[in-house]
Amino acid sequence: MTTPANSEKTAARPGKKKPSFLKVLCISLLIVFCFLAFLEAGARLLQRKNTQPIRSIGNFHSQFETKWFKLNDYVKANGGVDVLLMGNSMVNTGVDADVMAQAYEEKTGVNPRIFNFGVEGMDIHTNSELAALLNDEFHPGTILFFTEMREYGPGNDPSVPEGYQKAAWFQYQLGNPTFEGWLYDHSALMQYFLPYRNWSRADFPDTVLKDLYRYAQTTPSGYEPDRAYGRDLDVRTDPTDPAQKVLFDLYTNYSPDEANLEDFSTILDLEKSGVQVAVTEMPIYWTFFDYFGGETVHQEFLSTIEALAIERGAEFITPVDAELIPLVGRVDNHHLNFEGAPIYSELLGAELGDLCVEGTFCFSGEAAE
């Protein structure tokens, strides 16, 4: 066994002038820099021409990014946004902002610019930070926040707030600047590259296809239709079913958590910054409330939320009657599908339109007034 010849030391041939590798490195770095600058310019041109392939700001939550960029595009195309709908996945797949705006217009003659910023898995704490961020960035006239009982109980997935807190871009937006956050926020090239940053992950082929599909599915006003149909929705929830028992155990003796109510108040307090805040609840099917102890507990929850909203000067919108949404329009006992969402959006738009006509509550915002 012999040690192989070390070719590193014989890189230069005798009698031939050896090229300086330092010079090579400098030239190469210059080329890399120029190439990146060229790509950045190209990316900015793409952005300006409104050619909109999927983009990212390095957040772990691709749906949040979809909403962020769609909202940017929406504002660019419509000159602003009047109403931001916020909440979790129930809002994402449950409210078609265009249908809602049309229904509102039919009652009032005013066509508000509404965008659905409902994001899957969003907890109330992250939503409270996000609401402030969206308000600063896009200056909507109204924020309509859809809340629900789970947000105030135990069992919210901690990976969601942790994931947002870890994201450099999110921190940058919250006023904790880092180079990474700045780069993700300002570089168009990075934003076009970042959706593919996980190219070396085992799950990449699946996640990238899913993300591209969902990006394409989401309407310019932020609504993502869910094509699934629920099964056995009229069957009563079963505390002995292991899958449901978890939820029953989680929400036994339900009462809203103080810290979460505090976060909710933070959203309501945005009123002080000039934006109008309204709160309502999605049309959840009644069996859902079994986990929490039934309809009585649900009504107590709504009273708490309503009292807090009124106390902070926000508007509480009476939830649309859930019975008006047929079972065929539901994915499960709390999410709506592509058949249920337009029905609900029309009902909600009409209800809000009626409130406006009565003079109780109107959307504010440039186009909504």
In the range 79-108, which residues lie near other proteins by CB under 8 A?
A: 88-89
Q: CB 48 → other proteins: shortest distance, Å?
A: 24
Asked if 137 and 80 touch (Cβ cutoff 8 Å), the reply is no
Note whether 330 binds other proteins by CB under 8 A.
no
Look-up of token digits 């339900």: 254
**Total interface residues for other proteins by CB under 8 A:** 59
Measured distance CA(198)–CA(196) in Å, rounded: 5
- Per CB under 8 A, the list member of 52, 80, 121, 225 interacting with other proteins is 121
- Per CB under 8 A, the list member of 7, 50, 51, 240 interacting with other proteins is 7
Q: CB 185 → other proteins: shortest distance, Å?
A: 15
- Per CB under 8 A, the list member of 138, 193, 248, 286 interacting with other proteins is 193
Look-up of token digits 């933070």: 266
Note whether 235 binds other proteins by CB under 8 A.
no
In the range 131-150, which residues lie near other proteins by CB under 8 A?
A: 150
Amino acid at 364: S
Amino acid at 141: G
CA-to-CA dists, residue 155 to 43, 249, 295, angstroms: 41, 10, 20
The DSSP call for residue 321 is P
Note whether 50 binds other proteins by CB under 8 A.
no
In the range 150-169, which residues lie near other proteins by CB under 8 A?
A: 150, 156-157, 159-160, 163, 166
Q: CB 124 → other proteins: shortest distance, Å?
A: 11
Q: Which is nearer to other proteins, 29 or 41 (CB)?
A: 29
Query: Interacting stretch for other proteins, rule CB under 8 A, among 54-62, 110-118, 134-142, 233-241?
Result: 54-62
Spatial neighbors of 110 by CB under 8 A, at least 6 apart, are 104, 356, 362, 363, 367, 368, 369
Our CA dihedral for 135, 218, 123, 209, rounded to 10 degrees, sits at -130
Note whether 41 binds other proteins by CB under 8 A.
no
Asked if 113 and 78 touch (Cβ cutoff 8 Å), the reply is yes
Q: Which is nearer to other proteins, 27 or 259 (CB)?
A: 27
Q: CB 269 → other proteins: shortest distance, Å?
A: 25
Task: Please give the structure tokens belonging to residue 330.
Answer: 């539901």
Give me the sheet containing 142-147, strands edge to edge: 114-118, 83-87, 142-147, 276-281, 315-316
Question: If residue 114 lies in a helix (H) or strand (E), which one and from where to where?
Answer: strand 114-118
Residues at the interface with other proteins (CB under 8 A): 1-12, 18-22, 24-25, 27-29, 31-32, 35, 58, 60-63, 88-89, 120-121, 123, 150, 156-157, 159-160, 163, 166, 193-194, 197-207, 209-210, 212-213
